[in-house]
Amino acid sequence: MKGRTIVLDHLSGVEAAALMVDGKLDDLLIDSDAPRPGTIYRAIADRPVKGQGGMFLKTPDGSAFLRQIKGLAPGQSLLVQVSGFAEPGKAIPVTQKLLFKSRYAIVTPDAPGTNISRSIRDEAERDRLLEIAHEAAQGAAHGLILRSSCAGADADDIADDIDAMLTLADKVLGDAATEMEVLSEGDGPHILAWRDWVAPAEIATDEGSFETYGVLDALDALRQPRVELEGGASMFVEPTRALVAVDVNTGSDVSLAAGIKANMACARALPRALRLRGLGGQITLDLAPMPKKDRRPFETALRQAFKADDVETTLIGWTPLGHYELQRKRARIATSEVLK
């Protein structure tokens, strides 16, 4: 099946969304009981953890951890936003840098000014968007970012989006109460799909669409650590308590270039493999043997692959044992936790 299809359905009563590209599962969002990223709390400062440079906070959903101590005192109320998913047994990660994000606009209370996505390079289009932004956000005290999805979009749709996010920001920031409270819920999978999967696509919303479009079969494959790569190679993606281990194998290829071919295939496939499994944290690649002169092309391919991925990932570098390490934001719940 050629083309892009966004499939909105439920798994065991839980909201979920899948992006199919040419009949292959390319992205997956599944709801959970954990606080959604983007949720905004009025939290209460609890106790500092000086060794970690942060502070535990009290929230309606349990303990949260903020990587900041300066200017905070126990008992103080403050606004924070969930920035990712916590590992089992750990506090909810939060930040004080609030973002109000929708399909076309991001309102940034702590960063005034109007900015347009750098991917929009046409000057006439940038001028059009600036005019829309200035008219829609007239007199607003907050900053504004127009996302790449604004290119070619209807002016009224963009203006409505800006107005909705500015109204939400004013409501949250203008709340003068001091007790713990959830001020804004994070978006669920169906809204996230509308917000972030903006390229043209067919939309399937009928009950049972996951089975109709082959999503369930793809989910069964995700339960296995093995990922098939080009040229008969493979990699095993296995999360442990400490890190995510990725082991690359050349398969039946015994040529002198087998190692670099398998590793380059790993570089291209790794963002999707991690995205679909909802994996983050420390990631260690045990690559197939290759000469050191091939390390630079591999790094270039890896950097290019993650550039197109929407989850923040930092390429750390090589270890003395020849492994390659990455650090990836825990932006999603691990798929294994919701597919049990």
Give the tokens for residue 77. 């109320």
Distance (Å, rounded) from C-alpha 28 to C-alpha 160? 28
Tell me the pairing of strands 62-66 and 92-95.
Answer: parallel
What integer pLDDT is reported at residue 61 of this predicted model?
Answer: 95
Tokens, residue 243: 């890190």
142 in helix, strand or coil? coil
Tell me the angle at which helices 295-307 and 258-277 cross, rounded to the nearest 10 degrees.
20
As a whole number of angstroms, the distance between CA 70 and CA 291 comes to 48
Residues paired with residue 328 on neighbouring β-strands, in sequence order: 281, 313
Helix (H) or strand (E) holding 41: strand 40-49
Question: So what's the pLDDT on residue 309?
Answer: 93
Q: Which fold has domain 225-338?
A: Aminopeptidase (3.40.630)
Residues of the chain with CATH 3.40.630: 225-338
pLDDT at 49: 86
**Residue whose pair of structure tokens reads 């749709």 in the numeric block:** 157
Q: Which class is 40-97 in CATH?
A: mainly beta
For the entire predicted model, the pTM comes to 0.91
Sort residue 162 into left (φ over 0), alpha (ψ -120 to 50) or beta.
alpha
pLDDT value of residue 251: 87
In the predicted model, residues of the chain with pLDDT beneath 50 are: none
d(CA 199, CA 143): 26
Q: Which residue blocks in the chain are alpha helix, DSSP H?
A: 123-136, 155-173, 189-196, 209-212, 215-222, 258-277, 295-307, 335-338
Q: Where exactly does CATH 2.40.50 map onto the chain?
A: 40-97
- What is the 8-class DSSP label of residue 315? E
Q: What is the pLDDT of residues 128-170, one digit of tens each?
A: 999 999 999 987 889 999 999 999 999 999 999 999 999 999 9
Determine the pLDDT at residue 97: 95
Q: Are 269 and 227 in contact (CB under 8 A)?
A: yes
